[in-house]
Amino acid sequence: MKPAPFHYLRPDSVGEALEQLARHPDAKLMAGGQSLMALMNLRLARPSVIIDIGGLIELKRVFDDTDDLILGALVTHRSVEVDPLIAARAPLLAAAAGHIGHIGIRNRGTLGGSVAHADPAAEMPLATVVLGATFHAESVGGGRRTVAAEDMFVSFYTSALAPDEMITWVSIPAIQHGQGWGFVEYARQHGDYGLAGAGCLLSVGRDGRIESLRAGVLSAADRPLLFKGDDAIGERPSTRLWRALAKRWAAAAEPSSDDPDYSRQLCIAALEESLAEAHRRIETEREAGHGVN
Closest chain position to ligand FAD (CB): 109
Rank residues 70 and 244 by Cβ distance to ligand FAD and give the closer one.
70
Write down the least CB distance from residue 17 to ligand FAD, Å.
9
Rank residues 126 and 175 by Cβ distance to ligand FAD and give the closer one.
126
How are beta strands 196-204 and 179-186 bridged, if at all? antiparallel
Residue of 191, 209, 211, 193 lying closest to 201 (CA atoms): 211
Rank residues 36 and 204 by Cβ distance to ligand FAD and give the closer one.
36
CA-to-CA dists, residue 288 to 281, 282, 285, 291, angstroms: 11, 10, 5, 9
Rank residues 111 and 276 by Cβ distance to ligand FAD and give the closer one.
111
Write down the least CB distance from residue 237 to ligand FAD, Å.
30
Write down the least CB distance from residue 159 to ligand FAD, Å.
8
Rank residues 178 and 194 by Cβ distance to ligand FAD and give the closer one.
194
Footprint on this chain of ligand FAD (rule: CB under 6 A): 28-36, 38, 73, 100-101, 105, 108-110, 112-114, 116-117, 122-124, 161, 166-167, 193
Rank residues 29 and 250 by Cβ distance to ligand FAD and give the closer one.
29
